[in-house]
Structure 1
Amino acid sequence: MAIEPYLNLVTSQHYNKVKFMSWLSAVLQKVDDVLEVTNAIPEAFDVNKAVGVQLDTVGELVGRSRYLPFQLTDGSSPVLDDTNYRIALKAKIAQNQWDGTLPQIYDVWNSLFPNAQLIIKDNQDMTMDAKIRGDLGLQSVTLVTVGYIIPKPSGVRLNVKWESEITRRDYLGMIVTERDTVQLTFPNPEL
């Protein structure tokens, strides 16, 4: 809203009155400022554009915290940065809207990690195998491993296997169980 069109509606009798026009401009400017802030709110809390506190607010609405409930294997902070937190939020939103089909899992994966490949196999025994090719970075790997990224039916065990160009000891042997806890098996020291 621009205030000039409203100021132009003032009759000629009052248009030349400096005090009246100043008062009217001040009142209209307050309304205009409120309208600008109101119009900026949806963009400020857009999951693709939000940062910091706004992203935390989106996380509260979605139901996913920035703070991981465990320590990363490399000793870095369990607090997700904005980039990885945005991935976790988008995955949670997708999980909340998941229709239970494998094609939609692939759609979610491709939107989050376009440079990594996912292959899922339903073992028909309440387990699923997920094979991932490509390097995602430790925080993204951890998000996948603890069940934050790949949607799965309740009670189904997800076994995650990694095929990466980089040998990574920090996520070998991780699997996600039906309680979304991480089980670690120590990697073979000869790797």
Structure 2
Amino acid sequence: MSKYTELIPNYNVTKPLFVQHVDLATRPLIDVSSQMQALVSAFDIDIAAGDQLDILGEWIGRSRTVMQPIVGVYFSFDTDNIGYDQGVWQRAFDPDSGFVDLSDEAYRIVLRTKIAINQWDGQNDSLPAILEFATAGSGLSMQIIDNQDMTISVWVFPETSIDSVSREILAVIRQGYLTVKAAGVFSGEVLYPSVGNQFFGFDIENKYIAGFDAGAWETSLNG
């Protein structure tokens, strides 16, 4: 019946009233434990939603509200990249010009990044794992490039093409919420391949850079 009744020795297990008494005394403990586990799991960043994410944001130190209104992301018919499963529904009190409160999907990625920043040791070698954790589920990957002059550049690599990435996520990147950098370092351009998901380059071939007919020129996300 429970982990406690399973501990009853053979002599007593044949006594139904004894087993029922043990179950009656221990069942509330099991129920309370189950409810506490459910409460804790509700604040798992991978499944939390709505108010739970807002509370996580208070603990982590990042609000759902962004500095600048995000425009061009409301759901619309016959408009590329903001149709079904792409656009954000305009809520009752959202301004027509744009919205300032992130959706759960975008906010979850922002919180992941803030967690990574909070735990980062400041070393470039540890950046890849941090960025992989931060961008999980976003449809893109990122690389931080140290320009060796107290500035960094951010390279954004979509899984297929930049058009496949949510405009909300792109706006969040543009505003710097997914940038991991050391204190005192200036964040420069945010660049992405103009076509596909690899930059063009000579004498190098990897997941980020390719040669003719595969790599593309860089385009700035900053505008």
CA contact (8 A) 2:142 2:156 kept: yes
What's the counterpart of residue 148 of structure 2? 124
Q: 1: CA distance between counterparts of 2:179 and 2:126?
A: 10
Q: What's the Cα RMSD here? A: 3.4
TM-superposed CA distance for 1:3, in Å, is: 8.6
Q: 1: CA distance between counterparts of 2:60 and 2:99?
A: 22
Quick one: structure 1 residues 120 and 4, their matched pair in 2 at CA, closer, same or farther if it must change by over 3 Å?
Answer: closer
Opposite residue 132 of structure 1, the aligned amino acid is V
Quick one: structure 1 residues 113 and 26, their matched pair in 2 at CA, closer, same or farther if it must change by over 3 Å?
Answer: closer
What's the counterpart of residue 138 of structure 1? 167
Question: Percent sequence identity over matched residues?
Answer: 29
TM-score, normalised with respect to structure 1 = 0.68
TM-superposed CA distance for 1:44, in Å, is: 1.4
TM-superposed CA distance for 1:72, in Å, is: 0.9
Question: Which digits, 9 at most, give the CA deviation of each residue in 1:88-138, with x for residues without a partner?
Answer: 111000000112122322222233157534343322222112222322322
The number of residues matched between the two structures is: 166
1:59 aligns with 2:57: yes
Matches within 5 A, 1:66-81: 66-74=64-72, 75-81=97-103
3-state SS in 2 of match to 1:130: strand
What's the counterpart of residue 162 of structure 1? 192
Opposite residue 125 of structure 1, the aligned amino acid is D
Opposite residue 151 of structure 1, the aligned amino acid is V
CA contact (8 A) 1:3 1:28 kept: no
Matches within 5 A, 1:1-191: 2=2, 5=5, 28-74=26-72, 75-111=97-133, 112-113=135-136, 115-134=139-158, 135=162, 136-159=165-188, 160-165=190-195, 174=222
Q: Which stretches in structure 1 are left out of the alignment for 5+ residues?
A: 175-186
TM-score, normalised with respect to structure 2 = 0.60
Quick one: structure 1 residues 130 and 43, their matched pair in 2 at CA, closer, same or farther if it must change by over 3 Å?
Answer: same
3-state SS in 1 of match to 2:67: coil
Which structure features the higher share of strand residues?
Answer: 2
TM-superposed CA distance for 1:79, in Å, is: 1.3
